Structure 1
């Protein structure tokens, strides 16, 4: 039975629970086990986003009770509350579930429908189903392999939790839109960058959601990338 865990709490063996911690992790496809490159990992509390490299590796700064939201084109979201601190030598593994193509009345082959629109419609359908579905088990296994998850439906204040879930979903949709408009393929196309140089550029110069909505054409992104390339070259000369 397909279930969506809207909000997860991962519990780690910890000391000094209130300190900020650097966490390393790998992001993988839940079916193929292949790494997911250039996905966004956002600390929603600190409003900081990092990008996974070509091996799916990421490094993020996080404190107790911070919320991480993970987004990649073609995948469902993964969001969890960090409830502890892992040892410096530990690396977590997280998995994203690919989005299915079971949308009613939508023709995937229609060239007028973008990948982002299709993904967004599917995620929205799944989210709405999860919000109105009967409560699931209070405790479910986390997909990180590092702890346990608590279902949104069994959190203390259900209505408050739902409002928080909606907010997280909307924020994740914004990250997904940025991923789509400022994708690795587009940046590589106009910059010629590859591998670590590409990852670094995408992370340093990731545009805001509001900027992209105000500049809806790919040509706008092209000029944005060119401007940032010039700024990087100028900075490297100094």
Structure 2
């Protein structure tokens, strides 16, 4: 997805919390994720929230790490996050991890970091995913870990089945129009997300399936939860790759 498209999205989106489909409360999102990766992340390292959006989850993560940097491709998202979700130990930056120089500069500034990335990789074509994962390896260095929570092909299949029923889901439908969200229909692939990281120089230390709590509701009032997956990984040293 292009910088222009994301700037347009964040500029036109209402600024109140929960306006985006994925913008669930930190209690349902970052806090639940913390229980999955806290035992692997070195707590003294800075944390980079890659694709921070409006900063709601970033602000929550700043309560558990000494220094947090929220980065996003869209200037409009960074401006919104800086205005609405500040913290004394939290900085927001406009940055593109598809540019290797960005990761190199961040690592030079902060040293090894932990990385939190939610719902970013699935938006990229496969070659670009490898580029971003290479940048994340630079950020982690020798001592960092990454937590990734992503939609998978199983999510796309679930959404296709749901849309086929004719159910009204305006937030999800808006993302389909804007970004083609859920447009692919494919069978679930076993360990799809872990395999992606393993192919790109990571060792998976934890993995599992978790729901994505959305801000959308079914017509009967039930919250929409999407089937998604997570991994916790460390970068593999080059000698381990061989």
In the superposition, the TM-score normalised over structure 1's length comes to 0.27
* Greater relative CO (CA pairs within 8 A, separation 6+): 1
Q: Which has the larger radius of gyration?
A: 1
